Structure 1
């Protein structure tokens, strides 16, 4: 049994490698799958749930939310919301609609299989018959098919930069366009920072007021920490110098 059984899940987790719970669920899936434990069915279902929740968080519009309330939400509901947010249900084709329903049924079948064999989350009898290798593979393959379907649909969309949880590095093409056609000018302000003006191709300006701390915190957290430590040391030295001057005055 190799990772070739779940390439779609691996690709999704690689894309969203900054999502902590997703990384943990993926690590559990791999560990249980390679150990040939039935718990990999639990992990496979959890992986589909994580996939749906990541995409829902990324795509849901706060002004008209579709995100279901609570944590104990059926997998079919999560799949339904994810497919709606991906606009997959807008395609008016009977065959494609049937495909969407089939994926929902596949997700529900995964839930049923998990409920019957999920020794980890349901505390089943320790003497229950172990699933066959083929059954475990089928569960992982089903999860991989669903995750691949959703992930590929997501990759065809352009994330909204206002709401996205995607890191800056994922916007390389858009950022390159902005960098080529926009110009930056700056002037000092009285608020320990800069007034930055972004000149747009149409001649308009976007003014931004930014401080050294904001620049460091946004771009390089290690540099922010180094600057903070240096400033604290400098502040301590100023206090010592001020105290020394005061002592000299008192002596006089």
Structure 2
């Protein structure tokens, strides 16, 4: 799970996702049938995390393919300064459709050969370790792409959930322009105090700063987080 693990290191520590990645790797080293269940769950969990970050409600009836469609349709798939976004988007969307086929395959593998979700006849046919590894590698590819794309967008345009560590440049500017805060003989960073004391106020000042930096203040050119990409499937 090299791709997923590396992608997660780019963002705030997420214990639940980390545990799923560890569990998949452990399953491949032992009871590999569990990898079918866990690989699908990992993709679902990352999709729900991305959607929650951008403030998109998730319906309880959404299955894994629906979750992935809703997630990819809301990702800013291209760099904001790409010179030919229409042509590039068309090319990018082709492998995106392949990811949708991948998640459908993971669902079928989990339903037919997974051990944890529904239970199964103890003497039913099993697949091999290589098939479980394929499922894990497929999930790894999907998760790595989704999370990296999502995190890149959040660094430029904050979502509903804002992470302090994402905006080191802004924090430095804010701290430089603000008086240090003394509390109990300890000097506290103004940006950190604002973030943990009033998250919405921090977000408002951050957005104003990013708008000034961009010179436009109208989000990402090819779709800000939380706004569906008009040409995505």
Range class of TM-score, shorter chain = 0.5 to 0.7
Secondary structure of the 2:179 match is strand
Aligned to 2:76: 87
Q: Which runs of 5+ in 2 are unaligned?
A: 182-189, 198-233
Q: Which runs of 5+ in 1 are unaligned?
A: 1-5, 187-197, 199-214, 220-252
Q: For residues 92 and 100 of structure 1, what CA distance do their matches in structure 2 show?
A: 15
TM-score, scaled to structure 1: 0.62
Work out whether residues 9 and 144 of structure 1, in 8 Å CA contact, stay in contact via their aligned partners in 2.
yes
Cα separation, partners in 2 of 1:185 and 1:35, compared to 1, 3 Å: closer
Structure ID, larger Rg? 1
Aligned to 1:152: 148
Alpha-carbon displacement from aligned partner over 1:173-195 (angstroms, at most 9, x marks no partner) = 22112223x23288xxxxxxxxx
Work out whether residues 36 and 133 of structure 1, in 8 Å CA contact, stay in contact via their aligned partners in 2.
no
The CA deviation at 1:126 is: 0.8
Q: For residues 146 and 120 of structure 1, what CA distance do their matches in structure 2 show?
A: 22
User: How many residues align structurally?
Assistant: 178
Q: Does 1:163 align with 2:160?
A: yes
Question: Stretches of 4+ moved more than 6 A in 1?
Answer: none
Q: For residues 139 and 22 of structure 2, what CA distance do their matches in structure 1 show?
A: 15
Q: Does 1:49 align with 2:44?
A: yes
The CA deviation at 1:17 is: 5.7
1:106 equivalent among 98, 102, 106: 102
Kindly indicate whether structure 1 or structure 2 has the higher relative contact order, using CA contacts under 8 Å at least 6 residues apart. Answer: 2
Work out whether residues 44 and 139 of structure 1, in 8 Å CA contact, stay in contact via their aligned partners in 2.
yes
Aligned to 2:113: 117
Q: For residues 103 and 111 of structure 2, what CA distance do their matches in structure 1 show?
A: 12
1:11 equivalent among 6, 21, 24: 6
Alpha-carbon displacement from aligned partner over 1:92-111 (angstroms, at most 9, x marks no partner) = 34332222111111111111
The CA deviation at 1:20 is: 4.1
